[in-house]
Amino acid sequence: TTLTTTIGGRTFENCMMNAAGVRCQSDEDLTTIINSNAGAYVTKSATPQQRAGNPSPRMKTLPKGCINSMGLPNNGLDYYLNFVIADQQQRPDATNFLSIAGTSLADNLSMLHQIQDSAYEGFVELNLSCPNVPGHPQTGYDFEQVDTTLNQIFDFYTKPLGVKLPPYFDLVHFDQIAEVLNKYPLTFVTTINSIGNALVIDPQTERVAIKPKGGFGGIGGASVKPTALANVRGLALRLNPSIAIVGVGGILSGEDVFEHILCGASMVQIGTQFGYEGVNLFDRLSKELDDIMALKGYHSIEDFRGKLKTFD
Ligand SMILES: C=Cc1c(C(=O)O)[nH]c(=O)[nH]c1=O
């Protein structure tokens, strides 16, 4: 069996990679992923300038996942653009993901102009779903703003682009976001980002778990898998087949990867569990998925991708 996958005409040896934000902020982090069994890496979402992010404690691990309100700490676009271009020169056949998360449309446009004019030929993951920048709403929940943003981007941007979406919880919202996305030549959609603005408290201290935003933060990990699968499936049923789906949310095992692919994902990203386990995760999940596929007689992920059964 093989775990290879193809998105936008680019082939990846393994359909698993990290999720933006987890162990991918420094060039050491990214080099560690390069030297692992992961099929690709995605960089921490970049803003035009370096950001320190929110005050700590800003992330807390929990039995069923984690809560974070990092506040977009990152080393700035130049740092990540330099890294991915250098990597591209060393490994021209590898495709990777550069994540950007401007806190304004102007910032996103200026970063994409810089990338368009650069030597970078890889994927860009435009993060429309950061829940933790105080005072800034998630673009992904404003369908008109998503439309405006993509309209202005595709006036000039010609390289492979995807968007990172927040979770939606209403079937009409799946219809509405898919209607907007299907208007544009997107290469992929990554879904889901953390479930935003949850609240975790400690009954002993009677205090919230993290400092920023009065304790409100994004939830990741096992508890978000049902929502993640619903968003992968909901969009797989509505998006043009030319737009690949990158599934993320609640993946801890090869079986969880199998479920995301069954719902339609061509690639999967792992965040919370990758944060705990490090790059050995990719070896473990690859073996677990391989065993499941062998047991079921599947030779490639295309044998079962998107073939989830319903009762009717
Ligand atoms: C890019 C900011 C994000 C952050 C963050 O930096 O706070 N946390 C998330 O769970 N998702 C994000 O998209």
Amino acid at 37: N
Which tens digit of pLDDT belongs to each residue from 132-143?
887 888 999 999
- The per-residue pLDDT for 4 is 98
Q: State the distance from the centre of ligand 1 to the C-alpha of 19, rounded, in angstroms.
A: 11
Amino acid at 147: D
- The per-residue pLDDT for 62 is 86
Cα angle for residues 198, 202, 206 (degrees, 5° grid):
110
pLDDT-above-70 percentage for the chain: 100
Going by their DSSP bridges, the two strands 201-202 and 267-270 should be labelled as unpaired
pLDDT at 1 over 90: no
Check if 223 has its Cβ closer than 6 Å to any atom of ligand 1.
no
- The per-residue pLDDT for 67 is 97
Check if 47 has its Cβ closer than 6 Å to any atom of ligand 1.
no
Q: State the distance from the centre of ligand 1 to the C-alpha of 1, rounded, in angstroms.
A: 35
Check if 161 has its Cβ closer than 6 Å to any atom of ligand 1.
no
Q: Which two tokens stand for residue 36?
A: 């692992």
Handedness of CA 157, 51, 193, 1 (dihedral sign): positive
Which residues are 244's β-sheet partners? 188
pLDDT-above-90 percentage for the chain: 95
For ligand 1, atom 12, the nearest C-alpha belongs to 130
Which ligand 1 atom sits nearest the alpha carbon of residue 271?
Answer: 10
Alpha carbon separation from 31 to 25, 42, 86, 96, 161 (Å, rounded): 11, 11, 12, 12, 23
Q: State the distance from the centre of ligand 1 to the C-alpha of 296, rounded, in angstroms.
A: 37
- The per-residue pLDDT for 163 is 98
Neighbours of 113 (CB within 10 A): 13
ipTM, interface predicted TM-score of the complex:
0.99
Which tens digit of pLDDT belongs to each residue from 222-245?
999 999 999 999 999 999 999 999
- The per-residue pLDDT for 63 is 80
pTM value? 0.98
Which tens digit of pLDDT belongs to each residue from 165-209?
999 999 999 999 999 999 999 999 999 999 999 999 999 999 999
- The per-residue pLDDT for 87 is 98
